[in-house]
Structure 1
Amino acid sequence: MSWFKKLFGATDDNGQQHMTEPATSFVYVRMPGDAQPTERHYLFEDPIEEQLKIRNLGYISGGGSLQSAPDENGVRRIELTGIDIEAEDLDAVRALLRNLLPGLGAPVGTQIEFTLEDQRLQDRLIDSGWIEREPRTDRHPGFDL
């Protein structure tokens, strides 16, 4: 279906117009470490967004950082950074991210979080590569997903 029909609706066999909502899957990339928002944008979001667009696989819908509790001096540091993705093809987006993230400098411990048939799963980067489809208990920091 074209983006125009997705945006404005489609016409059924009887000529009736109805709104359609594209089916997407939510993917959350969780990266440990102190990446500032501008770093996250230029180092990760821009290249990921470019590859998603080239392949027509989805788009980045948000991102953010999770800060620590204040230390004894009242200073907070970034503990993790995250990127929200709406995936048109979940498996293809996961494969793209597994190939792309290590080359972009994603640290060991990076997780690609997703839900499949009501199961919360993740692909997790370790020293020797990716562990795929492992159960997860972490939830999106902002949406409890």
Structure 2
Amino acid sequence: MSWLKKIFGKGHDVAPPLDGELETHFVYVRMPGDVQPVERHYLFEDPIEEQLKLRNLGYVSGGGTMQSAPDENGATTIILTGIDIEADDLDGVRGLLRSLLPGLGAPVETQIEYTVDDTRLQDRLTAEGWIENEPRTDLHPGFDL
């Protein structure tokens, strides 16, 4: 049971598919800025999860934040927030995220990171809109994906 479900009585109730039934693709949404974990959950994860379920495209499998190095007083700030998604339909999830994220308040330079045939790619939100299929060098902060 997730800590959010324990605290708020609400959480993700989607079980991953059984082995061998369905190949999924890992998608990572990287958003710059200071978004606290509970805010991330309610502002982004819940609406994304709802739309993924509605369209049978996949599920939110996790999320996290990355903090800055400590300043001279030892204080840190959140510099990015991330959302992990297991996508049953990679192109469908990418399209959904590109249409959904700006309306949820995702900042410019938000990235949708994914891999196709061992090639690391991203879709990046700019002030003019999305740039798709860019090569990327950034890795998932926790898993080097």
User: What is aligned with 1:94?
Assistant: 94
Q: In 2, distance between residues paired with 1:73 and 1:55?
A: 47
User: What is aligned with 2:13?
Assistant: none
Q: In 2, distance between residues paired with 1:21 and 1:142?
A: 26
Q: In 1, distance between residues paired with 2:44 and 2:78?
A: 16
User: What is aligned with 2:125?
Assistant: 125
User: What is aligned with 2:44?
Assistant: 44
1:25 maps to 2:25: yes
**Scaled by the length of structure 1, what TM-score is found?**
0.87
User: What is aligned with 1:79?
Assistant: 79
CA offsets 1:43-88 (integer angstroms, 9 cap, x no match) = 0000000000000000000000000010111101000000000000
User: What is aligned with 2:144?
Assistant: 144
Taking only aligned residues, the RMSD between alpha carbons, in angstroms, comes to 1.3
Q: In 1, distance between residues paired with 2:116 and 2:20?
A: 22
Q: In 2, distance between residues paired with 1:58 and 1:48?
A: 10
Amino acid paired to 2:70: P
1:135 maps to 2:135: yes
3-state DSSP of counterpart to 1:99: helix
3-state DSSP of counterpart to 2:107: coil
3-state DSSP of counterpart to 2:49: helix
**Scaled by the length of structure 2, what TM-score is found?**
0.87
User: What is aligned with 1:67?
Assistant: 67
Structure 2 unmatched runs, 5+: 1-16
Displacement of 1:140 in angstroms is: 0.1
Q: How many corresponding residue pairs? A: 130
Identity %: 77
Displacement of 1:20 in angstroms is: 2.1
Q: Which has the larger radius of gyration?
A: 1
User: What is aligned with 1:3?
Assistant: none
Structure 1 unmatched runs, 5+: 1-5, 8-18
